[in-house]
Amino acid sequence: MDDEISLWEVLAVLVRRRGTIVLTTLLVAAAAATYSQLRPLTYTTSSSFRPQGSEVSNSQIMALASQFGVNVPGGSGGDEASPAFYQELLTSREILMRASDEPFTVEDVGSIQLKDLLEIEEESEGERDEEVLEWLLEEAVSVSIGRETGTVTISVETEWPDLSQAIAEELLAEVALFNMDTRQSQAATERAFIESRVDAADVDLDEAEEELRVFLEANRQWENSPMLSFQHDGLMREVTLRQSVLTTLVQSYEQARISEVRDTPVITVLQSPFLPPRNDPRRRVLTAALGIILGGMMGIVLAFLVEAFRRPGAGDPARADFQTSWNAAVRGIPFLGRGKA
């Protein structure tokens, strides 16, 4: 069939347009190598930590709350201790905006905010902040999770080694501050709930003890009566139960008061941010290799396009007119004019 393309025809096109392919490959590879050489040096630091659950068990609090039909918010804390939660937290707008507002000390520059260091020029401060946030999200900060260990790793890449370290340290500090605020807020909620239950449990215990006192005063020889013994045992069980509830609530109340002011971290830092000793590798060889591959593909496509435009118009006036214009346009370009059939 006439529409079928022969392998020999394809090879013939590649041979005829070898100049186009070779020159395109060299130009793209040279552009890639030039970009790799001229791009600014970057410095990357990293820090890793492992989330850990709350040190205070809330099982007693949750059990008591469920008995009274009250749901204590944030009692489990399971999601907040997961690595995925910290990954989203570190790339959240709130955390990154807090970090971007802090002044950083950069060598040979001094203390400066990111918006000024990056020389972002926008009409309003809000737009400048958005540019800084976009730079942090897309270029500077990356967060990964170790699937087997659950370790969260923060990597920061900038053109200044001390800035990379400072941003990583600031992000760790923001995570610690968030943990402390969240935990203390939850502890305050739990303390307020338990405090109200302590007051109620104390009243319930007083009532149970009063009922037992009245019973004993009215029945001094209750041991000789099976019915009175049964009533006495029931009242004693009620007093014992109320005492147990009150004791548990008081212990939980003291625990919540301690948690409300506790400032110990709930993440274990495995690797602190460090000052990068050298710049990141430029990977010139890899970049040049990718440029050669991309350039070769572009050269082959261009060769077939040129070959298609050089063929006869096959009776189509519009195509013939276009090919005439194309040939006239490229006739003066040396590498496109080579090998003309």
pLDDT tens digits for range 261-306: 765 556 788 888 998 888 877 777 777 788 888 888 888 888 887 7
Outline which parts of the chain fall under CATH 3.30.1890. Answer: 43-271
Model confidence pLDDT, tens digit, residues 152-168: 999 999 989 999 999 99
What's the confidence (pLDDT) of residue 27? 86
Q: How confident is the model at residue 98 (pLDDT cuts 50, 70, 90)?
A: confident
Residue 164, amino acid:
S
Question: CATH fold of 43-271, please?
Answer: Bacterial polysaccharide co-polymerase-like (3.30.1890)
What's the confidence (pLDDT) of residue 3? 53
Write out the H or E segment, with its range, that includes residue 33: helix 18-38
Structure-token match 């967060």, residue found: 143
Sign of the CA dihedral with 268 first, then 272, 273, and 277 last:
negative
Please say if the pLDDT value at position 257 is more than 60: yes
Q: Which of 107, 134, 145, 108 is nearest to 275 (CA)?
A: 107
Considering the entire predicted model, what is its pTM? 0.58
Query: For residues 66-93, b (16+ Cβ closer than 10 Å) or e, as one string?
Result: eeeeeebebbebeebbbbeebbebbbee
Model confidence pLDDT, tens digit, residues 120-145: 887 788 888 888 899 999 889 999 99
DSSP, residue by residue, 297-313: HHHHHHHHHHHHHHS--
User: In this prediction, what percent of the chain has a pLDDT beyond 70?
Assistant: 77
Helices and strands: H and E segment counts in the chain: 12, 6
